[in-house]
Amino acid sequence: MFLGFDLVDISDMVASKVISAREVVSEVASNYEAKNQEIGAFVAVDLDRAFDTADRIDQAIVRREIYGRLLGVPFGVKDLEDVCGFTTSKGSALYRSDQASQTSSIMVERLIAQGAIVVGKTNTPEFGLRSETFNAVFGDTRNPLDLARTAGGSSGGSAAAISGGLIPLATGSDGGGSIRIPSAACGISGFKCSVGLVPVTPSKGSWIDLSSVGPMAATLKEIAYVLDEVVGVDERDFRSRERPFGLFYQYWASQRSPVRILASKTLGYAPTTPEVSKAFDSAVALVEAQGIAVEMVEDVLVEDPLEPFMTLALSYTLFGVEDDLKDSGWELIEPQTREWLGYVTELTAQDLLRAQGAAHEISKRVAEKMQGFDLLMTPTCASIPPTLIAHDKAEPADANWVRFTYPFNLTRAPAATVPFQLDKESFPIGVQLVGRVGRDLELMAFGGFMEALFSSVM
């Protein structure tokens, strides 16, 4: 935990002058110096800028000229997202030499407006396409829980920075599990909102119907607190939605117990390792011991929906970068990325529509399976995070380890992950909680209950 406090406490302490924003940024600087080289969470920082911002906040607090629910809270920005003054490299040599952005994303704007302090950019795989955070420009992001393992992806830099205690808050995006996977891998909680709840600044190549952006922090308490400041309509995003009728923080605090849970250890196609299987069984037993009815099923889906997911995700990505790949651009991207994007150049409009139709059918099936249940509970990942590989000598990690998350980008349902640890010697797993479509607040309330329950035995 950063400074021994959560971000809610940090903001309150800065506002009441118990500590100064400068002292908070000093802690960031110290953590960065001590830890970032071995973890590889940040790819760019500007501590001078952060200190200047902190000084302005401290002075405004003394003069009683400032208000914000995130005063003095330092945060990192995933390197797929714009923040004024930093280059958005997208983890690629194709963009690493671009000029610094002149604008910030809508979410970053809203965080800054509440007094949060930008520290720098966090690592991501090239174009956010891998489930392990590695790229040829900045290298690996290592898992703070075990430096020999990946931090997951694609928001791995953000998750590792939080789990490693470098910062309390970061931004993330989740188009196929990119918040949930690294959160689970690094032993923290994560939350994927319904698409449009947190608005995005439109850009060519956005994963239109798949991806949600949102804050990342160690606990659902902190995530809920920040979500209340970043949700709501923005005219720049035609998909953006009105604020929910209620506050995430209040729903989290209710820690509402679900009554009936549908649980699946495979979703019908994704076997788990014995380690994850044993931990998940223990988590289910703990839930049942609270008097909650849990029904185990293994036919949530008929087959792995990887093909329609990859068709959509890679088509969106290629559309975003195709102009920059002309001439020598293809030679600047990584071989695996080149292979994937080359695959979708052969697809037709019919293939894309077929994939969208498959997403609709999957959503209908999941909704039918969940009738009468408060939520669906699965492992977040099929194994603990893989060990790091020599990227020039070995194949990528087995994709089986992340086959539990992308179905719920296809369905557009909100989904969370909360950590569960079988015992002190075992690696924590993530337990995925999938809510009903549009029921983000409800899922946060259930998530608060489940997180507190699991943390009581960790």
Active-site positions read 78, 154, 178
How is residue 414 written in tokens? Answer: 């909100």
Q: How far apart are CA 402 and CA 153, in angstroms?
A: 10
Q: How far apart are CA 40 and CA 143, in angstroms?
A: 9
Q: How many CA atoms, within 13 angstroms, populate the side-chain half-sphere of residue 79?
A: 37
Amino acid at 285: A
Q: How far apart are CA 105 and CA 202, in angstroms?
A: 9
Q: How far apart are CA 15 and CA 69, in angstroms?
A: 9
Q: How far apart are CA 200 and CA 239, in angstroms?
A: 9
Nearest to 116 by CA among 17, 231, 228, 10: 10
DSSP labels, 391-417:
TTTSPPPPGGGGTTTTHHHHS---EEE
Question: Is 132 in a helix, a strand, or coil?
Answer: coil
Amino acid at 99: Q
Q: How far apart are CA 112 and CA 123, in angstroms?
A: 21
**329 CB contacts (<8 Å, ≥6 apart)?**
94, 321
Q: How far apart are CA 258 and CA 449, in angstroms?
A: 8
Q: How far apart are CA 379 and CA 394, in angstroms?
A: 27
Q: How far apart are CA 440 and CA 194, in angstroms?
A: 7
Contact 382, 429 (CB under 8 A): no
